[in-house]
Amino acid sequence: MPNCLYDALFGRHAESDKTCLIQADGSHLSYAGFLEMAARYANCFNAQGLKPGDRVAVQVPKSAEALAVYAACVRAGLVLLPLNTAYTADELDYFAGNAEPGLMLCAPEAEGALTPVAQKHGARLLTLDGHGGGSFIAAAADQSSEFETVSREPDDLAALLYTSGTTGRSKGAMLSHANLLSNAEVLKVSWGFTEEDVLLHALPIFHTHGLFVASNITFLAGGAMIFLPAFKTEAMVENLPKATSMMGVPTFYTRLLDSSDFTADLVSHMRLFVSGSAPLLAETHTAFEERTGHHILERYGMTETNMITSNPLEGDRRAGTVGFPLDGVQARVVDPDSGAPVQTGDVGMVEVKGPNVFQGYWKMPDKTAEEFRADGFFITGDMGRIDEDGYLSIVGRSKDLIISGGFNIYPKEVELLLDDQEGVLESAVIGAPHPDFGEGVVGVLVPVPGAQLDADAILAKIKPKIARFKQPKALFILDELPRNAMGKVQKAALRETHKDCFR
């Protein structure tokens, strides 16, 4: 029965003894072994009463088993809901209530905190650790490694990924089988991936970059991945000689450059370095080239669209740009209000159309309608310009979204927590350039008249309430926030004032 995503990424490898994953301990897992594992998981999902279209929420450490959960969901016709491992129980409560998953998978140490969340929203809860253990693994152990692939239409949902909303409320971006497959097919060709490639994979797999870009391309090409649980400079340096390609966020590259062990000889054999999820500073691009002779390939994408543009594999990879629209993808820069195209070189709103663009926001038809033009172009919220040679540069965001270390942070969520702290009258949260994370979260507080604020104490109080990557890296205290004549907080002025706070 047809299931285009499973058939293309996984099904054709079912009998292959070729290495699929090289794990941190050096062990090799074949495609056949990986897919037998995924089949047992798919049978386990059935045994848990899940039906095609049901959601599976996953907040677990990165592992081969966690990746096999993705393959199992695709094969069983389930909708994967990957969740950042830094999210707290309070944050997961919203996702569970909105997505209504039939099953939640979590790390064993989170079981106590998430049991009431799962019970509240009618979801089963099982555990999966980072070493192939947990109650989910035990439940799957006796399941068959044979499974009849569930038929899926191209527009059926494969994944639900939550992204920041304009009011701080997260929105579930609905990604179909065709959305994911079309993007993988184009990127495989655009970046020249083959079965000979060995990708050094240190990205998280709860994010588009690590799961739907890096992994999908590798599966489609039939290559292998060196599958590291997280980025550590020493492990990267150790494994680079075994790899042909690497994908990372800008932080990866700045940290490699900080290591004296990272040399031109170490990577002389490498075919490709790709950067994304946050802007790559031009100085990082230049420093990397001077150190290694390699030009990092920068691309541009979003949760809602997968990848949109890329610098060329062959040709000029221009620092500060994200290249050209991918094959089959249309991208334009328009006046945000009228939708009329701007002149070459002028700044406007980036809009995109193509088979990669998502199906809309889960349970938010009105919001979905607002984000699309009448001719079907998706309004990205990013401001950019296209130069005379056709290269796109992203110059900012019309919304206040902060991207730190490749993760999206909407200021309103952090502001609400800060405003709740004793002695705080109001707050404003902005992003400031950060040499390691691209942007760092900065909080600006105004005290209640007569109150004395202790920044360290406030940070300690909000720490258990919000994921670490969302926590302010600096707090400043002002008598009042800058405002315009209409009373709106001037965040641009705050960004200018604090632009050098991490330098």
* pLDDT (tens digit per residue) in 276-293: 987 788 888 999 999 999
Please say if the pLDDT value at position 397 is more than 80.
no
Type of residue numbered 12: R
Angle of CA points 452, 456, 457, to nearest 5°: 65
Strands (E), 313-372: 324-325, 330-334, 348-353
pLDDT at 166: 41
pLDDT of residue 487: 60
Q: Phi and psi at residue 472, in whole multiples of 5°?
A: -55, 135
Please tell me the class of the 402-497 domain.
alpha beta
Query: Do residues 430 and 496 touch, judged by C-beta distance below 8 A?
Result: no
Residue listed under structure tokens 């074949």: 30
The sign one gets for the Cα dihedral 84, 9, 222, 18 is positive
User: Band of the pLDDT at 164, cuts 50, 70, 90?
Assistant: low
If you search the block for the tokens 């994370």, which residue do you land on? 437
Extended beta strands in 303-423, E state: 306-310, 324-325, 330-334, 348-353, 378-386, 392-397, 402-404, 407-409
> Nearest-5° angle of CA 356, CA 359, CA 362?
135
Long-range contacts of 408-414 (CB under 8 A, 24+ apart): 408/163, 408/164, 408/303, 409/164, 409/441, 409/469, 409/470, 410/164, 410/165, 410/168, 411/168, 411/491, 412/167, 412/168, 413/164, 413/168, 413/466, 413/470, 414/441, 414/443, 414/466, 414/470, 414/471, 414/472
Half-sphere exposure of 38 (CA within 13 A, CB side): 30
**Residue pLDDT, tens place only, 29-81:** 999 999 999 999 999 999 999 999 999 999 999 999 999 999 999 999 999 99
Which CATH number is correct for 4-152, 3.40.630.30, 3.40.50.12780, 1.10.730.10, 3.40.50.300? 3.40.50.12780
**What CATH code is assigned to 193-294?**
3.40.50.980
**Residue 3 DSSP code:** B
**pLDDT band at residue 168, thresholds of 50, 70 and 90?**
low
Q: How many CB atoms lie under 10 A from the CB of residue 327?
A: 12
Give the per-residue pLDDT at 483. Answer: 82
Q: Are 376 and 342 in contact (CB under 8 A)?
A: no
Mean pLDDT of 429-456: 93
pLDDT at 9: 98
- Measured CA to CA, the distance from residue 85 to residue 95 in angstroms comes to 13
pTM comes to 0.86
6 pLDDT higher than 80: yes
Question: Residue 394: what pLDDT?
Answer: 87
Same topology, domains 193-294 and 402-497? Answer is no
User: What percent of the chain clears pLDDT 90, i.e. is strictly above it?
Assistant: 84
Task: Check whether 444 has a pLDDT greater than 70.
Answer: yes
Residues paired with 236 in a beta bridge: none
Q: Structural domain boundaries of the chain?
A: 4-152, 193-294, 402-497
